[in-house]
Amino acid sequence: VVTQMRELDIQCRDIMQDIEYHQDIYSKEVEGVTKKKALMSIQRALIRCQEIGDEKLGLMAVIADHIENRQRQLEQDRENLDPTSSREIEREEQPLTIVTQSRPVKTEEKVDKVPMKRQRRQKTTSESITKEEEKKEMIPDKGPKKKKKRKASKKEQAPASPIEPPIDPDEPIYCLCQQVSYGEMIGCDNDVCDIEWFHFNCVGLVNKPKGKWFCPNCRGENSKVMRKFDK
């Protein structure tokens, strides 16, 4: 996992250098084909950076799970080796907690574990107390309060609907499908191509081909040869 994290960091650095290179071209060039290609390269690089960030978050979750499993295993091994140690610790700590109370009070057996996963798994004692009180209030009553409970659970379970980002009406469109740029795209090597850029799935590509590539409107017998246009 650590090796994968390092590889992703190297890829991210290379992409950032590529972004700086195309940014210089975009700022120096006047409106034209070269400036559009530089902008498309920057957009693809930013999308790839976001994908790398998502992959790194997934690896971090794997590392956190592994650490928590190891910690749990060590605790279990310690209890198997010396099962009486936890009881002796309770006896030593019990006189310190009993000061003015008539009945013995159980001390906490273990210190709270350091949270290793996402914050949504954490529960504080105050939250657990309030939930127990809510359950006690709802058990004896019938009718309307049950409905309120169902409504409250529905509200808690309903995920927040994602807000779609606004679409810029001035954003240029490309490809045979006449859509904006997204995902993997390839540029036609014909300098006078009207469309210039195409989505991989619209032209039947999975990986970027080697050498020159011409779109269906500009190709000849195959995608490596440009069609001869009438003068």
pLDDT at 181: 86
Last residue of a domain, one of 31, 57, 86: 86
**How many domains does the structure of the chain reveal?**
2
Per the domain annotation, does 46 fall within a domain? yes
Domain span holding position 197: 171-231
Per the domain annotation, does 147 fall within a domain? no
Last residue of a domain, one of 51, 86, 121: 86
Per the domain annotation, does 138 fall within a domain? no
pLDDT at 74: 92
pLDDT at 118: 38
Q: Which of 209, 181, 211 is nearest to 195 (CA)?
A: 181
pLDDT at 85: 59
192 CB-near residues (< 8 Å, 6+ apart):
none
User: Could you tell me the mean pLDDT of each successive run of 10 residues in the chain, 231 residues long?
Assistant: 85 89 84 86 90 89 91 90 65 54 48 42 47 55 46 48 56 88 89 90 89 86 66 49
- Global pTM exceeds 0.75: no
Task: List Cβ<8 Å contacts ≥24 apart for 101-110.
Answer: none
* Tens-place pLDDT, residues 46-80: 999 889 888 889 889 889 999 999 999 999 988 88
Indicate the angle between helix axes 144-157 and 125-138, nearest 10 degrees: 140
Phi-psi region of 155 (alpha: psi -120 to 50; beta: other; left: phi over 0): alpha
pLDDT at 24: 87
pLDDT at 228: 66
pLDDT at 199: 94
Phi-psi region of 225 (alpha: psi -120 to 50; beta: other; left: phi over 0): beta
Indicate the angle between helix axes 33-81 and 2-28, nearest 10 degrees: 160
CATH code for position 218: 3.30.40.10
Last residue of a domain, one of 25, 54, 86: 86
Query: Residues marked as binding?
Result: 175, 177, 188, 193, 199, 202, 215, 218
One-letter amino acid for residue 190 of the chain: N
Per the domain annotation, does 188 fall within a domain? yes
pLDDT at 137: 54
Give the separation between CA 167 and CA 182, rounded to whole angstroms. Answer: 13
Query: Residues marked as binding for Zn(2+)?
Result: 175, 177, 188, 193, 199, 202, 215, 218
